[in-house]
Amino acid sequence: MAQFHFVEDYEKLVARLVQTYPIDEAMSYAVGGSYELFGQIEAHLLGRVGLEDGMRLVDLGCGSGRLASVLHSSRKISYAGIDIVQQLLDYAKSKAPKYEFILHRDLSIPQPDGSTDMISAFSLFTHLLHAETYLYLEECKRILKPGGRIVFSFLEFAEPAHWDTFIHTKTTTKERTADHLNTFIERGAIATWAARLGLLVDEIISAGCPIWNTHALGQSIVVLRKPA
């Protein structure tokens, strides 16, 4: 059976980075750079939308553990990080040894029904086709407890800061040098998906919001909630 495009893309990307840079730099570049800063921003965002000690968090596309490394030293939570590249998971485990990390390469989430308080997906749906994102959101709803939240980042055309990403994508597509897919998701699509799934849109935070520090993260954020 053929692999999904994102598995092949990221295995090649990580392999190239590891061959080119020292391991810490490679693992940072694999998740967009600014490893410590982005981890702190993501942890802060989750705290602001309700992550508390004692909760269960599933971190989809956890990568090399930039979020896990911060939460491991600052929160008393149950955590499962899921990704498609074993080398990223091994590095994440070295940063957060008490946490669970799972290699999973399908459009599903290997967790029981109604078992999770919060799901994060930073810089994940930005690299998937819309149908793939929707399949993940179906799974998110399944594993969430009533009242549980999904927090994910996205790129949108209405955000001026994201236009450079689109131009870069256009250029690398034309030159056939793109190493992964960049996908834009409009707010209307998010609202439609939420309505179809029976989820509530709690909040959408623009990428340029200084209060939430999303300008440093470089992506907009949406918070969806499963009704209680």
Q: In what order do the strands lie in the sheet with 78-83?
A: 100-103, 78-83, 56-60, 116-121, 144-154, 220-225, 200-205
pTM: predicted TM-score of the whole model, two decimal places: 0.91
Residues 178-224 have pLDDT tens digits of 667 789 999 999 999 999 999 999 999 887 766 666 666 788 999 99
**Which 8-state DSSP code applies to residue 49?**
T
Domain that holds residue 59: 5-225
Residues 70-99 have pLDDT tens digits of 999 999 999 999 998 999 999 999 999 999
User: Alpha-carbon distance 43 to 24, whole Å?
Assistant: 20
Total domains present in the chain:
1
- Identify the CATH number of the domain in which residue 27 sits: 3.40.50.150
Output the CA–CA distances (angstroms, integers) from residue 223 to 151, 176, 210, 226, in the order listed.
5, 34, 17, 10
Locate 173 and state its tokens. Answer: 């597509």
